[in-house]
Structure 1
Amino acid sequence: MSTGHVYLGCYTTGAGGEGTGIMLARRDPRTGALDEPVTVAQTPAPSYLVAHPSLSVLYAVDERETGAVAAFAIGPDQGLTPLGRDLTGGSSPCHLAVTPDGRHLVTANYGDGSVTVHRLGPDGALAGRTAHHVLGEGSKVDPERQAGPHAHEVVVESDDLLRVVDLGGDAVYALRLADGVPEEVDRTPLRPGTGPRHLAAADGYAYVCGELDSSVTVFAVDTPDGAWREHDRVAGGTEKGQLSEILLSADGRFLYVASRGPDTIATFALRDGHPTLVGEVGTGGSWPRQVTREGDLLYVANERSHTVVVFRLDPDTGLPAPTGCVRHVPSPTCVRVMS
């Protein structure tokens, strides 16, 4: 098998899962097939992983009540050596990203609806927390899930502009980052009760999946004043579920939406920012928490069936087809493909 590899995040035994930490699996870039994964870092609740844009460093959240992030140096054999760990100041961090200049790590804390910024050193190590920014109030449409803000994803648009998806507040925030300190510059509301989770953007449009109402809301983002305006809204599949992931094909012609409950991936054809459902396929497991695309391959982390399943995308229809590769991974929540 070739030298490609993936890191796998999971919920560990102290966080409601069965995982042991961050796992590594060798990957055949041509077929997408994965070797049997092995644990390379025993760290608690690494439910989301991200790599530094220019250094051999991997970052992981610790998605527990007292939230934390950890940094690991990637060795020549893809093994992981701890570079440090720090608290986020928030609870249940579930997503993180690194600015393109490699200077800051930004974390979305689901529990208290906040965003944390850490400065990064020249070696990629954590170099101190610069900010802990709490979002606005929850929409309270869903009294349990929206009593307060719940930051679910942070998307870095540039070195100094962040988009934060707030499930609890039915909103997407724009934050300007100045010397590691975020300042709110815009807030795009979604329809009450949407419960936005993740977004994907390209070609002048942003697509936001609603975890609570199983919708996909499309925004036109190339507007004269820079504001996002609702452009379209469709169901995220034929059966209502808890939408978990949304992503685009490499050429931007298709949109993919994963749904927990129905355990499907819906494929939408895109034309001028309008999604049209092409079809749905089963994920080959239960509770698809995250889907990663690498070229024409999809990697689906089925959390409750403890499997990562590999699909290949049809270039004409866009539909995913299973390749036959299914790997056992305890409580998988994230697949991070590395070059």
Structure 2
Amino acid sequence: MANWVGSYREKGGEGFYRLERDGGRLMLTGCERAIEDASYVVWSDRHRLAYMVEEKEEGRIATWRFDGAWEHVASLPSGGALPCFLSLSPDGHTLACANYGDGTLTTFALDPESGAPRQLLSSYRPSGHGPVPERQEGPHAHCAVFDGDDVLYHVDLGLDRVFRHELERGRIVASAPAFSAPSGAGPRHLLLHPDAEHDLLVCELSAQLLLLRREGPDFACVGAVPTCPHDGVRDNLGGHLALDRDGTVLVTNRGHDSLVRFAIDGEQLHLREWSHTGGSSPRHLMVDRGQVIVAHEEGGGVAHVSLNAQDACRIANIPGAAFLIEIPDVAQSKP
């Protein structure tokens, strides 16, 4: 296994960086410079394909095969501007893309044999705006999450909404709001908890973590906590949301530049511990062999954050680090 780091070209990133373990430490060992602005990536182990957004005004989705080296397979328009999130259906037949720039959600058909993108199936763009004019002047799709093969949720930061879509063979056939976040909260990332009775939503603009309960096709908020462990911190934005191996919730703060752990207790969220991440604007995180790895968009590269020790150790100085993903090497993926 190796970890890969997507980076922003305009922030100094030079491509898709490879991190490998040397004993217990991660070290930078290479960079695929042909891959640009991969700020979100999903991996198909069956086809050994990585689907990557190219987060640009004329958004694109690039497909790359990895068999020890990267091979470009296809590239097609994302159906919107500034794509920032991808989701693969459980059956591997549909790819969903959230385009932040213009708020369009798109779905694509994937070839069931090769995994290669075949065609744009459908698109959905809601109308409206939120109360924060500089960030909510219109729709801004920020996340898309499958719930089985035939239901897709998408989060719109600009409209303070979560939408639910019914699919037929990957095509959107019915859409409706499933949840309204507090006005101006700017929801960013929805996480459907695989084990607990509740799901989670992090709000970027209000820097809040919401605990959601399913009520039929909709969500109801049963708990909310600030993501920042300190009161009075200005210009802090909620960041990435993930689960640790023990089921606790990990959230990054961009501004306070911290990582926070919450525990779910019934219908309540409790702060467990936190630590500074050792960089600026922690955009993404992943849990790797019990360690939390954080990618900093504005400075500080990639760091290992130890919540118990209240410190961070820089792994690699990667400018514009945007995304982290673990991808199996060929020898480890074959029986």
Q: When the two structures are superposed, what TM-score results if normalisation uses the length of structure 2?
A: 0.90
1:199 equivalenced with 2:194 (yes/no): no
Shift of 1:251: 2.5
Match of 2:332 in 1: none
Distance across 1 between alignment mates of 2:280 and 2:148: 35
Match of 1:18 in 2: 12
Match of 1:40 in 2: 32
Distance across 2 between alignment mates of 1:134 and 1:191: 21
Contact 2:139 2:159 in 1 (8 A): yes
Shift of 1:320: 7.0
Contact 1:217 1:232 in 2 (8 A): yes
Contact 2:155 2:187 in 1 (8 A): yes
Partner AA of 2:317 in structure 1: H
- Find the partner of 2:243 among 241, 244, 248: 248
Partner AA of 2:199 in structure 1: A
Go from structure 1 to structure 2 and tell me whether the alpha carbon gap of 1:72 and 1:322 turns closer, same or farther (over 3 Å shift).
farther
Distance across 1 between alignment mates of 2:269 and 2:288: 22
1:57 equivalenced with 2:49 (yes/no): yes
1:147 equivalenced with 2:137 (yes/no): yes
Percent of residue pairs identical: 27
Distance across 2 between alignment mates of 1:210 and 1:37: 35
For the residue of structure 1 that corresponds to 2:279, the secondary structure is: coil
- Find the partner of 1:264 among 250, 258, 263: 258
Distance across 1 between alignment mates of 2:312 and 2:284: 18
Distance across 2 between alignment mates of 1:251 and 1:44: 34
Contact 1:250 1:295 in 2 (8 A): no
Match of 2:84 in 1: 94
Match of 1:177 in 2: 167
- Find the partner of 1:118 among 105, 108, 113: 108
Q: When the two structures are superposed, what TM-score results if normalisation uses the length of structure 1?
A: 0.89
Match of 2:333 in 1: none
Shift of 1:312: 5.0
Shift of 1:92: 0.3
For the residue of structure 1 that corresponds to 2:192, the secondary structure is: strand
Contact 1:176 1:185 in 2 (8 A): no
Shift of 1:172: 0.9
Alignment of 1:1-339 (within 5 A): 4-12=1-9, 16-27=10-21, 31=24, 33-75=25-67, 77=68, 79-121=69-111, 122-138=113-129, 140-182=130-172, 183-202=174-193, 203-221=196-214, 223=215, 225-237=216-228, 238=230, 239-240=233-234, 241-252=236-247, 254-312=248-306, 319=308, 324=313, 326-339=315-328
Partner AA of 2:7 in structure 1: C
Go from structure 1 to structure 2 and tell me whether the alpha carbon gap of 1:320 and 1:89 turns closer, same or farther (over 3 Å shift).
farther
Query: Which 4+ runs in 1 deviate beyond 6 A?
Result: none
Shift of 1:164: 0.7
Gaps of 5+ in 1: 314-318
Shift of 1:162: 1.2
Contact 1:53 1:102 in 2 (8 A): no
Go from structure 1 to structure 2 and tell me whether the alpha carbon gap of 1:170 and 1:323 turns closer, same or farther (over 3 Å shift).
closer
Match of 1:316 in 2: none
Shift of 1:41: 4.6
Contact 1:53 1:98 in 2 (8 A): no
